[in-house]
Amino acid sequence: MAEVFFSSWGGNVIDNRQGGEPQASTFKLPENYLDEGNVGAFMGWDGIIVLNKDVDIVKMAAEYMKRVQEKYCCAKCTPGKRGTRVMMDTLSRVLAGHGNEGDLDTLTGLADLLENCKCTLCMTAAKPVLDTVKHFRDDYLAYMRGERKSKPAIAYHDKLTAPCMDRCPAHIDIPAYVEEIKDYRHDESLATIREYMPIPAVCGRVCPHPCESACRRALVDEPVSIMVLKRVASDHELLHHQQPPMQPKPSTGKQIMVVGAGPAGLTTAYYLALEGHKVKIIDMLTEPGGTVAVGIPDYRMPRPLLQREADIIAALGVEIEYGVKLGRDVSLRELKEQYDAVFLGTGAFKSKPMGVEGEDEGYNGFSEGGIHYLRAVALGEGMVTPKRVIVVGGGNTAIDCVRVALREGCEDSILVYRRTRKEMPAESYEVDDAEEENVQFEFLRNPTRLIVEDNTVVGVEVIKMELGEPDDSGRRRPVEVAGSEYVIPCDMVIPAIGQDPDLGYLEEGDYGIKQTRWNSIVTNGGTMMTDNEGVFAGGDCEYGAMTVVLAVGHGRRAARVMHRYLTEGKVYLDQEDTMEDIINNLNIFDDKENVGICGGLHREHQPKIAGAERAQNYGEIELAMPESQAVREAERCLRCYRVAMLAVQ
């Protein structure tokens, strides 16, 4: 691990300039930047981190402010526009040897002016510059005395980010599309979203919105409804019968096979098609969407909208063939021989076992798993739901199962979970919805065996649990209460405790594609390529069961790297990918920050069908947010942009 020469990051000063026992870096900065050289220093919203004593910190500060002013300042407010310009000119003058000590006072004084900016970009950009003035004053004075000449780094790399952007696995420019909605520029907002994800109607409905957990507005009152605003932009195009404007580049002649029409596969195909590549998707299902289509019920994600997203991608020239399963109808070896590159986005359709007595005996009334139950119902495969159903698990799939069971005619839909509601990984609002629909909950209960009569499940024996010390997940570990077993009668048991990828299509020694101990595919160095050159993977089959937006992020990264592979013959991460990963390791959001503004502008909520009667059908529960209401919600955004820059020595 590299040693820190100096750091002011987060207000915690580490100073090894005078020698002594050096302090190792606790920052997750790489030692090398691509093949350019060593990482010398990092400068951004929370200070400076210097790893190499030879970094010219004055030159770096000047270059940083120049890029802030010329590339990123929106010029929509006077303090930001004028303040950053004065800082840029002052630093340039110092660098040229024409400065004086009064210039340092000017730089320091501008911090107060920038506190009045329209957004946080310019005011946070002042922070690292002021830290250089405070802690490297002698370097500035040396320039003023003509004792030092500029020593630029090999290269400087900058990137715009924000706490919400950083937390979003697809790294969407959230402040931009939110502001465009605020200004009634819905077409531009949707175009901004599609730069990072091609399925906004999906992610505007079923994304777990990790971005909102890093929304600075939550430190004041409530987070901005980022996910719903994405849907607003998508709904605008649909409701106004507009045709998406995207057009692919001229054909490259390259042919790509994408296996799986889920979020990862659709995303990969979309961005490769825009680059002019000929893409074909095959999928084992009869419709697009993967687990989104058959694992998320229509009351959350209407499948006609999912089909529309796939049709938009097909309109770019992507061929989609359904009912074709890898390993059954075609082999990976054949695909590798026929196509210039292959992307595996085969999802995670294999349910995890419960580990209870009797689950492998094939009893009537025991479901293979939650995802299989949801799939059978969605595709009309003759799944009969009895009157009394028990679902085991605490995630979103388990919640979907108990709610679907009600819609399929179940009278008593019971969820059994070994922890309390507080520890459930399911989205809290999904649990609220289930309660409103009269789902029954049995918390701190764990199944031990199936109760069977005449080869048919008639109940589940459970044991009471109590919470002990936290486990690796940070949640308190459930511990059995000895002698507390009892039976819950039921007609059907659905285990929904997780899913794994099914990689049965990988033949023995199939091109050396490695697997993890969790039966997922190993890819290399963030490039999404396997050990088999030209075969890439992403989504659930590469990471394990994940969120839609993480699969989208995988698909976009894979498409970008595959494009380089197809056009340059090389697999590598570019500047955007690398800076994205570096910033992601620094954690932009500070949940202890004092934002310093008055709150009271509470979150707008989209209309929603209420009450248990909605459990009688599959009509969409959450309705479109009126655009006037969306504008009010967008106005709550604090536009928390940050600028980062890295010096390569």
CA dihedral 431, 432, 437, 443 (to 10 degrees): 50
pLDDT tier at 508, thresholds 50, 70, 90: low
- Tokens 């021989």 correspond to what residue? 337
Domain 6-162 sits in CATH at 1.20.1440.230
**3 state SS of 128:** helix
Per-residue pLDDT tens digits for 224-258: 999 999 999 999 999 999 999 999 999 999 999 99
pLDDT at position 1 over 60: no
pLDDT tier at 611, thresholds 50, 70, 90: confident
Per-residue pLDDT tens digits for 408-432: 999 999 999 999 999 999 999 999 9
The residues, any chain, with a CB within 8 Å of residue 227's CB and separated by 6 or more, are 203, 204, 205, 207, 209, 211, 212
Check if 6-162 and 255-349+501-572 are the same fold.
no
Say how many C-beta atoms besides its own lie within 10 A of residue 202's C-beta: 27
pLDDT at position 23 over 70: no
- The fold of the 255-349+501-572 domain, in CATH, is FAD/NAD(P)-binding domain (3.50.50)
Contact in structure between 424 and 417 (CB atoms under 8 Å): yes
pLDDT at position 510 over 60: no
Contact in structure between 148 and 135 (CB atoms under 8 Å): no
Per-residue pLDDT tens digits for 109-130: 988 888 888 889 999 999 999 9
- The fold of the 351-499 domain, in CATH, is FAD/NAD(P)-binding domain (3.50.50)
pLDDT at position 647 over 60: yes
Question: Alpha helix (H) ranges present in 315-395?
Answer: 332-338, 370-378
Q: Which has the closest alpha carbon to 253: 222, 287, 229, 277?
A: 277
CA distance 16 to 7: 9
The CA distances from residue 197 to 266, 318, 608, in Å, are: 10, 16, 26
CA distance 566 to 323: 28
CA distance 436 to 302: 21
Per-residue pLDDT tens digits for 521-542: 999 989 999 999 999 999 999 9
Per-residue pLDDT tens digits for 347-396: 999 899 988 888 889 999 999 999 999 999 999 999 999 999 999 999 99
- Rounded to an integer, the average pLDDT of 188-201 is 98
pLDDT tier at 22, thresholds 50, 70, 90: low
Share of the chain above pLDDT 90, in %: 85
Per-residue pLDDT tens digits for 294-340: 999 999 999 999 999 999 999 999 999 999 999 999 999 999 999 99
pTM, rounded to two decimals: 0.94
The residues, any chain, with a CB within 8 Å of residue 348's CB and separated by 6 or more, are 291, 499, 500, 501, 502, 540, 541, 544, 545
The CA distances from residue 33 to 24, 155, 248, 514, 571, in Å, are: 19, 10, 32, 27, 16
Write out the CATH class of domain 165-244+590-634. mainly alpha
Q: Which has the closest alpha carbon to 525: 556, 551, 558, 555?
A: 558
pLDDT tier at 609, thresholds 50, 70, 90: very high
Q: How far is CA 58 from the centre of its chain?
A: 36
* Domains of the chain, residue spans: 6-162, 165-244+590-634, 255-349+501-572, 351-499
pLDDT at position 211 over 80: yes
CA distance 608 to 622: 5
Say how many C-beta atoms besides its own lie within 10 A of residue 94's C-beta: 24
Number of DSSP helices (H) and strands (E) in the chain, helices first: 21, 22
